Structure 1
């Protein structure tokens, strides 16, 4: 039955492709043969091992390589890469992958999978950087302008679809470029002509980690664009809750692949030049990335001062030095201060939560007095951006069998969405910084929890059909996933890994043992059963989920360096000094306009 179904699908695809070609040929000479390839799914073998091929990631996972020379009238097509550094499967990794697939991100690419030696992530966070570097260097030059999203494996849950993330990325980059140009007192065009851009955005932290207030990564970096009183009257009082989210968190990042490759290479050079095994955080990727960023910001400030002294920092501050006279310092590193993309948990607990957008015009009534203002507090509205409403409606409408009689229009006004109360953004993902047990409590609160199984099935089918991330251009381009589900993948999916080149790992091996938890939100769900479609697919693949281990492997214990970091982070939650940010004067809050609303905190 399964081979016949595959042939039938191929026949349908061939007919559709022929029709599209005929229509295009009749429309004139502007027909783009490369774009048509995006609508024809590739053919994969889930068990195919590509060891020994330098471009294995590209050749065997990419759906297509589309030219980047398109005009505005004919937008070019770029890819989104979705990378998760992870060495082994557990329930926390499944939260991440399930939430990503349910939201229709590209099929997760697990980096450092079952890594050993220098790629053993259980022994060192630096394995993460090595695995990322290896992946980025296997990409073709034609992919330099693609977007890559990299998230930690075991403490991330995705909330918004990828088109929301891409849309916000471009708006955020334009806004950050404008702020950088103001810092230099020049126009945006002039700044860009000098190579001054903000293209790589990391998650925000309310603490400079590892803590060393004399280091440039702590004192030389800009303050955020949220304004000096963004967190109420207690802002900057030394408590972590009221600190400015101006520091880099290395657990989440987005940026162009070429820029990311340059930054990762520079960070590996930093490790080679400064590694000290006696330093307690010598295995922290965030330490080295933040040092590269701190050096960038210091030398930006030197340029602003025309080579003069840079203000800021404690009296015994450390000045970053260049190892060579021509050492590069500009890497386009920036921070997602507004948590439009990345919402970290630690220190933000009073300032984010779930809201229903049930007022007229898909607005939520913010009636939480988060600053304890008492009678001075005035409730206000937060509007759901149109890009969010459209992306969410598309997912909901794709699974009518899961909610018979309910329309997306009705659902959007009742669903609860995680929202940053200060920036008023419905954030794209949630990052469980600090104690990790909170992620187990958080997963069942996400919008997709009642529909996980049908959402996964719909996502797998959409991927196998060659669906684009968005049918409309974003940032002047069409967007397609870098990775796609194989034709013989289980109906619930799986993930690609970098083990032995590029290998697909099926659902049963990754998350089959956790279905009771992952599908716990389904009404009437019987955990021990598989529906007919799942059984047929599993039988064909020879990896039935009911053959998964009865007692799946427990989550591996956190490496000691990670445990120590978490303990120290908790201990210093009330010791965040209010340090002026290099040459950056305090700013009044900017209009937050990444969605279709304009609001001020």
Structure 2
């Protein structure tokens, strides 16, 4: 499932297939923190089957039976329908595989355990961070690319999640080898940073590569990028000529939307380096050649022509591959859990940090989390506030008094938690989320709010233009797992 938040129209869009306990959790905490009213769309019967582009292919070969490709085809369909007058509005598209539309699938309560993104902060914090993250990224672009930035109009407007691996793409392809160095601290994991030394060979790597679990950007820029993604889908073949022999890239990496976006980013970064070299002049303070990097232990001495067998690329004129894509390196939007389970903890920021972070091992990052919270969280509406009221709020209800999932390596509290690592962790993590212990009361407050207030829709969702109530989306027989406030 994919969700998009169109803040201008105050709608959150999504795709749905089958229900699960995690689906209801995701729906609840996307509605309860006032993230606006979602719209859920079907995927299975509306997705343009990838086999129409790949000969003799069956959806059984594809991730989620082709649902990952729906993140491209159906999101583009929606973006194409948005009028140009709203091109500057922000869209948030996020993963929620396993979610469902009960209205269209009555009685189908299979648990696919795949809805894996939870919100913990307010939408205003997310929007504020969109602008601050881009400002910081554009400063880094100026330093890295120099004269090319102004000459070619380069800037960041679209933000993807960031991860530690160039997955699922093969590392000798353009999706991986041109990707620039991570801006995260070089000592993030001490002397083990960017080595294979760790709990596994990826845990000590800094976030550097694209993760398509969430994407945020203006309508016009997202539309252009998704058009390119659809072109990649349409042009894909059963077998990639640059496959390493494992057939891992067959059928567009078995229908991986992330593989497509990785390629788009790799082509963008390849061409950005071409432009940097075209515009650079000896003596420039900005735009100097970057030092060599390493990719999973392999030296990248030249991002345009690395010294190993690699996919060749054309040096182009201008910016035909420029989409303004950047990454959420510092986990300001979301914290990925894959290869990062030990990088974050639920902590209360009004208490000493170290006693709350136990079980540290020799390869884990130094604890950098501090007491107190950043301004963008403190100035947002308080955790249990609905339309300016805090009815039924517990005694300890300030942001620094509730547990927040925090990247303790970076001292960062993300807006979202992306459980793309150990899926079973969601079972014990759910009651740790600040809103869950008060979930029933909080949802009652949301459902009772004044619908004349346009800031957020009353609990529920839209599907194919029809409103569905919260009760239709989440039937009462799911309450025990969702609220966990009654004895079995």
TM over 0.5: yes
Q: Cα distance, 1:459 vs. partner?
A: 3.1
Deviation string 1:144-169 (CA, Å, 9 cap, x unpaired) is 11111111111111111101111111
Aligned-partner Cα distance in 2 for 1:351–1:91: 26
Matches within 5 A, 1:546-565: none
> For 2:36 and 2:150, how far apart are their aligned partners in 1?
30
The answer for the alignment partner of 1:123 in structure 2 is 65
Query: Any conservation in 1 of the 2:369–2:410 contact (CA below 8 Å)?
Result: no
Distance 1:438 1:394, change over 3 A: closer
Q: How does 1:281-320 map to 2 (within 5 A)?
A: 281-306=253-278, 310-311=303-304, 313=306, 315-320=308-313
1:151 aligns with 2:94: yes
Relative to structure 1, the CA distance from residue 270 to residue 338 in structure 2 (aligned partners, 3 Å threshold; closer, same or farther) is same
Q: 1:390 aligns with which of 360, 376, 379?
A: 379
- CA deviations on 1:103-146 (whole Å, 9 max, x unpaired) are 11121222335634527994211122111011111111121111
Alignment counterpart, residue 402 of structure 1, candidates 389, 392, 397:
392
Alignment of 1:143-542 (within 5 A): 143-153=86-96, 154-186=115-147, 191=149, 194-238=152-196, 239-276=201-238, 279=250, 281-306=253-278, 310-311=303-304, 313=306, 315-321=308-314, 328-359=320-351, 364=353, 368=357, 372=362, 381-393=370-382, 395-396=384-385, 400-403=390-393, 406=395, 408=397, 411-462=398-449, 464-468=451-455, 484-485=457-458, 493-497=459-463, 499=464, 502-512=465-475, 513-520=477-484, 522=485, 525=486
Give me the whole-angstrom Cα distance separating, in 2, the residues matched to 1:306 and 1:85: 43
The C-alpha deviation readout for 1:64-108, integer Å capped at 9, x for no partner, is: xxxxxxxxxxxxx94555333322332222121111111111212
Q: Please, which runs of 5 or more residues in structure 2 have no aligned partner?
A: 50-58, 97-114, 240-246, 281-301
TM score, norm. by length of structure 2: 0.76
The corresponding residue for 2:16 is 86
User: Residues 452 and 261 of structure 1: is their aligned pair in 2 closer, same or farther, counting only changes over 3 Å?
Assistant: same
RMSD of aligned alpha carbons: 3.2
Structure 1 contact 81–147 (Cα < 8 Å) conserved: no
Shift of residue 205, structure 1, vs aligned partner: 1.2
CA distance in 1, matches of 2:263, 2:172: 12
- Do the aligned partners of residues 377 and 423 (structure 1) sit closer, same or farther apart at CA in structure 2, a change above 3 Å counting? closer
- CA–CA distance in structure 2, aligned partners of residues 342 and 226 of structure 1: 15
Compute the displacement of 1:248 (Å): 0.7
The structure with the largest alpha-carbon Rg is 1
User: Is the 2:348–2:401 contact (alpha carbons within 8 Å) kept by the matching residues of 1?
Assistant: yes
> Structure 2 vs 1, CA of residues 371 and 201 (structure 1 numbering), >3 Å: closer, same or farther?
farther
Partners of 1:508 and 1:97 in 2: how far apart? 12
Shift in Å, 1:379: 7.2
Q: How many angstroms does 1:372 deviate by? A: 3.6
Taking the aligned partners of 2:191 and 2:440, their CA distance within structure 1 comes to 45
Rounded Cα–Cα distance in structure 2 between residues aligned with 1:356 and 1:326: 49
In structure 2, how many angstroms separate the alpha carbons of the residues matched to 1:271 and 1:112? Answer: 20
Give SS of 2:262's match: helix
Please state which structure has a larger fraction of its residues in helix. Answer: 1
Distance 1:343 1:449, change over 3 A: same
Q: Residue 330 of structure 1: SS of its match in structure 2?
A: coil
Helix, strand or coil for the counterpart of 2:227? helix
Q: Is the 8 A contact 2:161 2:210 kept in 1?
A: yes
Q: SS in structure 1 opposite 2:263?
A: helix
**1:433 and 1:83 mapped to 2: Cα distance?**
21
For the 8 Å contact 1:200–1:259, the answer to whether it is kept is yes
Measured after TM superposition, the shift of residue 390 of structure 1 is 3.2
Sort the Cα spacing of 1:95 and 1:377 in 2 relative to 1 into closer, same or farther, 3 A.
Answer: closer
* TM-score (normalizing by structure 1): 0.63
8 Å CA contact 2:161–2:213 kept in 1: the answer is yes
The CA deviation at 1:237 is 1.5
Cα drift, residue 457 of structure 1: 3.2
> 1:274-299: CA deviations, max 9, x gaps?
23267052311011111011100000
Displacement of 1:365 in angstroms is 5.6
Distance 1:306 1:284, change over 3 A: same
Q: Is the 8 A contact 2:169 2:175 kept in 1?
A: no
Structure 1 unaligned spans of 5+: 1-60, 63-76, 469-480, 486-492, 528-601
CA distance in 2 between partners of 1:218 and 1:310 (Å): 10
- Match status 1:98 vs 2:12: no
Contact kept? 1:399, 1:455, Cα under 8 Å = no
How many positions carry a matched residue from both structures? 415
